[in-house]
Every structure is written in structure tokens, then in C-alpha cells.
Amino acid sequence: MTLAEAREGQRFRILLLPNRDIRAQAIRFGISEGEQVTCTAIIPGGPIIVTKNRQEIAIGRGLARKIAVEPIASPSSLKSPVRRHFYGLPRP
């Protein structure tokens, strides 16, 4: 399904972002493929608002139609300890 079909309050995993530029800009705001976001508002006919932590991002409807997402039931586990170790970060 695409982000344009989202319902308010639903939680998703982003599967596919359309093009290079959009992907790069979205990553800066904190959304990348594989990331989990919540749809917090849908403006009728207009943009979709997604939230990751405290960061809110408005995505135009046209763009939302090109973003593939999958709904997830429950929030997933924390970031894996292996990855944290790789960045020299303390284990949780």
C-alpha cells in the first residue's frame, strides 16, 4: 500500500521512497526506507503528516502516492546492540 492510503494514527514501516533527491531529503528529516513512522494527520485532498519521535513532516499527496509503506501492529524492538557497538556507543 502507499502512504496516501494511510489512516490517522496508523503506524508504518516505509518500504520505498520514490527518487534519489526525495530519499536524500527525507533521510535528513529522519525518514528512510525501513524506518517506522506514525501518520498523525491527513489533510483532506492535501498533504499527509507523518511523525517520527518529535519530528513532524508534511508530505504532499502526490508524493505520498509514490511512497510504499507497510502497516505495523506494534512498535518494534530497540536498535540492535550490534549496531550500537559498531558506532562505539554504550550498550543499552
30 is a contact residue toward other proteins (CB under 8 A): yes
What distance in Å separates the CA atoms of residue 61 and residue 88, rounded to the nearest whole number?
40
Q: Which residues of 11-36 are buried (b: 16+ CB within 10 A; e: fewer)?
A: bbebeebeeeeeeeebeeeebeeeee
Q: What is the DSSP letter of 29?
A: H
7 is a contact residue toward other proteins (CB under 8 A): no
78 is a contact residue toward other proteins (CB under 8 A): yes
81 is a contact residue toward other proteins (CB under 8 A): no
Measured from the CB atom, the residue of 46 and 71 that comes closer to other proteins is 46
55 is a contact residue toward other proteins (CB under 8 A): yes
Q: Are 37 and 58 in contact (CB under 8 A)?
A: no
The CB-of-67 to other proteins minimum distance in angstroms stands at 10
45 is a contact residue toward other proteins (CB under 8 A): yes
